[in-house]
Amino acid sequence: MKNLIILFLAIALCKAVLINVRNNVPRRDTEGNILNAHDGSLIQFGDDFFLYGSAYIKCHQFNPTCDSCGYLNNTFAIYHSKDMETWKLITKSCVPEIEKDNNVINYWSPNVAYNNVTKKYVMSYWSSQYGFRSNHIAMAISDTPTGPFKVVPPIEFKGGSISSTTVQIFPTSSGKAYVRYHTRDAPLRHVIEELTPDWLKSTGKFSVFYVKNEYPWYEGGGMFERNGKYYAMIGTDCCFCQWGGDARIFIADDPVGKWVELDQINKCSNGRDPTYTGISQPINPCSVDDPYGTNFTIPSQQFSVSTFNIDGEQHFMYFGERFRSSPDGIKPNDYQAWIPIEFDSRDRVLPLRWQDSWSMGRK
């Protein structure tokens, strides 16, 4: 019996995982190239991690906010890792069909989830074919997490008539999935909408969790599920800005039920609340008179929340883009912010903290 206990302990120790995350150095693949997968998502499938994102062409960013760099000729890339440190490029063309017209259509923000019913990997992404034009969300499916993903008919959502800049699929532990989006038709709504079992159509059930018509508009963000509660996050519209965006967080017992705002968890780096009264876009809410002044605590725009299961424990990670952060000014070389979402002893979400490095799992 003693030998069996020792054997079981040895096996458990061998399976222990320690994940180290660094935010102060460029992340590189096995060929030494900086990872070029932006404004997407980092997903765990089993023991593997997959980074999905827009692969930008090599262009130079000249200003503290958006210009033409990063708008056209994007493809979707996939990287794979076992430890979130060593990354292998799988492909920079996981949705080949978008490359037929990406010289005139904007493509961003691929998010992927696995449907246990259909056994398909389902991707939502933003396309200017629908954004600002109609009530549709672009979708693609694959038999494997590495693609290729095939474009399928878009989801026609019911919570508005014109989509804006945010779309994201969100699976839950119940097996159901939802899409989070916001509308351009007034009033500007942030909506959670339930999908059919194949995750490719709307059930027509939805909930509006935030409404705002004036600047600054809100977009980005992410969703996660914890202890039977559902959380949604949104941030100020950034337009490829160098200062980042805030992070307002909401909670609900049911994704299509009533949502309550909890807090602002990404204040300015000087500890002050951002200034929103009377400003337009693009203006730095943390330094209204100086775009190169004070930034947000996490100087990035959020695009998703990653949920990880490491050694049987759940971890949640803010996934954001640090636009204009590359030392050489080349857009594909921008840094990303991978920041832990932390909770106090009463399960309240704590303000985000910048961390050069942090870890998950057994130390």
For 9-26, the pLDDT digits (tens) are 444 444 568 999 999 999
pLDDT for the residue numbered 57: 97
Domain locations in the chain as residue ranges:
21-361
Q: What's the pLDDT tens digit per position in 197-214?
A: 999 999 999 999 999 888
pLDDT for the residue numbered 216: 78
Q: What's the pLDDT tens digit per position in 153-176?
A: 999 999 999 999 989 999 999 999
The closest alpha carbon to 44, from 353, 304, 341, belongs to 304
* pTM recorded for the entire structure: 0.94
Average pLDDT, the chain: 93
Task: Examine the pLDDT at 282 and tell me if it is beyond 90.
Answer: no
Task: Examine the pLDDT at 178 and tell me if it is beyond 80.
Answer: yes
Give the chain's length.
363
Which amino acid appears at position 200 of this protein? L
- CB 285 within 8 Å of CB 275: yes
Residue 276: which pLDDT band, with cuts at 50, 70 and 90? confident
pLDDT above 90 covers a percentage of the chain that reads 83
pLDDT for the residue numbered 278: 64
pLDDT for the residue numbered 363: 65
Tell me the C-alpha distance between 30 and 179, whole Å.
34
21-361 CATH, one of 2.40.50.840, 2.115.10.20, 3.90.105.10, 3.30.2080.10: 2.115.10.20
Q: How far is CA 18 from CA 127, 226, 310, 359, 363, in A?
A: 37, 22, 8, 7, 6
Task: Examine the pLDDT at 230 and tell me if it is beyond 90.
Answer: yes
Task: Please give the residue that has the higher pLDDT: either 311 or 6.
Answer: 311
The closest alpha carbon to 56, from 66, 47, 44, 46, belongs to 66
Task: Examine the pLDDT at 113 and tell me if it is beyond 60.
Answer: yes
Tell me the C-alpha distance between 44 and 319, whole Å.
13
**pLDDT, mean of residues 60-89:** 94
In degrees and rounded to multiples of 5, residue 6 shows phi and psi of -60, -40
Q: How far is CA 345 from CA 55, 249, 278, 314, 349, in A?
A: 40, 18, 38, 15, 10
Task: Please give the residue that has the higher pLDDT: either 9 or 58.
Answer: 58
pLDDT for the residue numbered 143: 98
pLDDT for the residue numbered 16: 65
